[in-house]
Amino acid sequence: MRRILAGLLAVLLVGTLFTGIAAADTRAGGTVVIEEGEQVNGLSATASTVVVSGTVNGDLRAYGSDVVVTETGNVTGTVRIYAGSATVNGTVEDNILVYGGTVTVGESAYIDDSFGAIAGDVTLGGEFDSDVNVFAGTVNLERSATIGGDLTYEGTLNDRGGTVDGVTQRTQELALIPPLGPLRILFTIFMFFASLFLGSILLYVDPQFADAVYDTCTAEPLRTAGAGLAAIGGVALAILLFAITIIGLPIAVSILLVTIVLAWIAAIYGRYVVGTWLLTYTSRDNRYLALFVGVLVVTLLGLIPYLGFLIRTAVFLLGAGVVAMAIRQLFDMVSESRGGTSSPRSVSRRRRRRSSSTGRRCRKTGPSTPTPSGSCGSSRAADRVGL
């Protein structure tokens, strides 16, 4: 039952990240072209050059060096473009967001909803029915441009006579983080209960792993936090390396989404460790109570200016460390099950680390019932985290 629940949880977490992608028409190659008169039901295109002259019934995701929506091109859903050079001369019936070096919205373009761009140079020459938000080195507002909402920009604005029905303002003039006291409180409450819910599932699915997490963090907290910091740095570097290549950008986005889920799980385990440690000063011994205490305490302490940030960071690094070590241990197990072998030296080194770690925990916690292997009762669980 627990294995089935674990599988369903994994499918749910990963599946929600990619909702809608499988339904779209996915194309890749040197050049991807939707010809005039051609219709596709959604499109995810990865190529050096992407040209849309037909109709995309649904969302458009385009990754390439050059992405062009011609005058005859029409997209009925949202548009997301990641390109060195992006040109839109057609119709977009929903909102559009462009990341690129050079972004041009031509005179014949029509954007029915909001437009956003982050680029080096942005030229606005079409018709926009809603707000326009641009972050760029240079923003060119052409005479032919018509903006039905506000124009919010960052960079150098070259106004060549375009029409803006709303307000033209720089980002410095905005309250980018407005006072959202009630909203922040509601979000904090939501995350509190969401963390308790996910944490309870994790404890039910594998309570022994939760015990191993606590043993690992208390036995070697600095090493665990260091592993977490190294894992964060490695993931950030991997995302950066993939993101700087247009073809690798979808992989970078996928890694980022998976990392967000794993980071949430790491934060929950870190809070569980805090709660379990606090309960050692009482007569209570309950995993779910430890989870509740840890989430509550860290949430409240996190509200303290400056100190709260440090506490949340330390707790997160502990959780990230054990999650990273568990993933590495899982990878080693999969490699060995596929016929891979480890060198005798590496195997011996892992055994020595496990033995020394077990010995430290046994001496710290006092006598306990030995297992058939001669170690204390919690050693098997601790080994699962990779110590």
HEC assignment per residue over 313-356: HHHHHHHHHHHHHHHHHHHHHHHHHCCCCCCHHHHHHHHHHHHH
Per-residue confidence (pLDDT) for residue 80, from 0 to 100: 95
User: Within this chain, do residues 113 and 211 fall inside the same structural domain, yes or no?
Assistant: no
Domain membership of residue 373 as a residue range: 184-383
Residue 357 lies in a domain: yes
Instruction: Give the whole-angstrom CA distance, residue 370 versus residue 372.
Output: 7
132-141, 213-222, 243-252: least confidently modelled range? 243-252
- Please check whether residue 276 is in contact with residue 292, taking contact to mean a CB–CB distance below 8 angstroms: no
Each residue's pLDDT tens digit, 225-255? 999 999 999 999 988 888 777 677 788 888 9
User: Within this chain, do residues 155 and 192 fall inside the same structural domain, yes or no?
Assistant: no
Each residue's pLDDT tens digit, 41-100? 999 999 999 999 999 999 999 998 999 999 999 999 999 999 999 999 999 999 999 998
Residue that is last in its domain, among 143, 173, 203: 173
User: Within this chain, do residues 220 and 284 fall inside the same structural domain, yes or no?
Assistant: yes
User: Within this chain, do residues 79 and 139 fall inside the same structural domain, yes or no?
Assistant: yes
Residue 110 lies in a domain: yes
The distance from CA 202 to its chain's CA centroid, rounded to whole angstroms, is 20
H helix runs in 109-180, sequence order:
none
Residue that is last in its domain, among 151, 173, 195: 173
Q: In degrees, to the nearest 5, what angle opens at C-alpha 155 toward C-alphas 152 and 159?
A: 70
Give the sign of the dihedral formed by CA 59, CA 64, CA 65, CA 70.
negative
Q: Give the CA distances from residue 134 to residues 118, 119, 209, 385, in Å, rounded to whole numbers and listed in that order.
A: 6, 8, 47, 46
User: Within this chain, do residues 191 and 340 fall inside the same structural domain, yes or no?
Assistant: yes
Q: In degrees, to the nearest 5, what angle opens at C-alpha 227 toward C-alphas 225 and 233?
A: 105
Instruction: Give the whole-angstrom CA distance, residue 373 versus residue 201.
Output: 31
Name 79's Cβ contacts closer than 8 Å, sequence gap at least 6.
Answer: 59, 60, 62, 69, 88, 92, 94, 95, 96, 97, 98
User: Within this chain, do residues 96 and 151 fall inside the same structural domain, yes or no?
Assistant: yes
User: Within this chain, do residues 189 and 260 fall inside the same structural domain, yes or no?
Assistant: yes
Per-residue confidence (pLDDT) for residue 23, from 0 to 100: 52
User: Within this chain, do residues 233 and 149 fall inside the same structural domain, yes or no?
Assistant: no
Residue that is last in its domain, among 111, 146, 173: 173
User: Within this chain, do residues 97 and 122 fall inside the same structural domain, yes or no?
Assistant: yes
